[in-house]
Amino acid sequence: MKEKLVIGTRGSKLALWQANYIADCLRSRYPGVEVSLKRVMTTGDKILDVPLARIGGKGLFTKELENEMLSGQVDLAVHSLKDMPTELPPGLTLAAITERVDPGDAFVSLHYQTVDALPQGARIGTSSLRRKAQLLHYRPDLVISDLRGNLDTRLQKLETEQLDGIILAVAGLKRLGWQERITQVLPQALCLPAVGQGALAIETRSDDTEVLAMLEFLNHDQTRAAVTAERAFLREVEGGCQVPVGVFGQAGEQALELEAVILSVDGIQIVRDTICGSWAEAEAMGRNLAQRMLAAGGREIMAALED
């Protein structure tokens, strides 16, 4: 067993909370091990004035951390799983996926209690095409404004940019103790979450057997089964931040239900479907649902996005 572990993390308040949470879990499990954090600035942290979809989507918040691992500067990295690409660089693996906190999306507003209560033409802030498309499908009259920055920055912009509301991940708000800021948790019928939303991913070198063994206790089997199906769906659809895709897996004792949606950016075109199976079929379920939805009109939506 290693005597020292270095955790790579982004420098935002939420990223540091997540890294410290995992560090405390490791210190509790292995009292003799020295655990430290190394902050790493990612591309996504540097470029804050351009929509995510325009600068490449997934990987913007992970690449520099992965380079640090591959070079041996850090032993593991803690990510929000929803920020992780479905394909990892050679030499790296997802060692553990923690229990999901809350997969939902939160509507935060200073003046309106629900999305339904918003007036015609209300301005909503979000940096996510997935959220934008689903909101516009439900309320075509809304005006969506791009909203970048860390969680606390986005909350500040709710006031400084005169927005009627913003959409954020419930899990991030809860982790930072800001759940009282949540005005409404959006029903999944309105907005399906991002792949892996609410779960933490612990990434490390695939040949580092010592660290892999040390991290095994952090795995939550039900969450892992659900997000395996979600990530398989996204991999088959080949969508990143640039594609409006929502997907959510719900794992019971042995059964697994996967629901997904593919939309055009304006929310007009939509394909939505559900599949059921067992944990053991998680990967195949994700692929099968994706293939079924692509054949039912999703492929045309994807083709239009590439034009």
Owner of token pair 């540097």: 46
Q: Let me know how long the chain is.
A: 307
Helices 221-237 and 282-293 pack at an angle, to 10 degrees, of: 30
Q: 139 with 267: CB under 8 angstroms?
A: no
Alpha helices, DSSP H, located in the chain: 13-29, 43-46, 63-70, 129-138, 151-160, 170-175, 209-215, 221-237, 282-293, 299-306
Between the alpha carbon of residue 68 and those of residues 65, 115, 151, the distances in Å are 5, 42, 25
Would you call 83 a catalytic residue per the annotation? yes
Q: What distances in angstroms separate CA 171 from CA 135, 179, 228, one per listed residue?
A: 19, 9, 19
DSSP 8-class letter at 54:
G
Q: What span, in angstroms and rounded, lies between the C-alpha atoms of 179 and 176?
A: 8
CA 49 to chain centre: 20
Q: Please, which residues have CB within 8 angstroms of residue 307's CB and are 6 or more apart in sequence?
A: none
CA atoms of 278 and 107, how far apart (whole Å): 33
Strands 270-278 and 200-205: unpaired
Catalytic residue, from 75, 83, 105, 208: name it.
83
How large is the angle between the packed helices 151-160 and 13-29, nearest 10 degrees? 150
Q: Are 163 and 123 in contact (CB under 8 A)?
A: yes
Q: Which residues are marked as active site?
A: 83
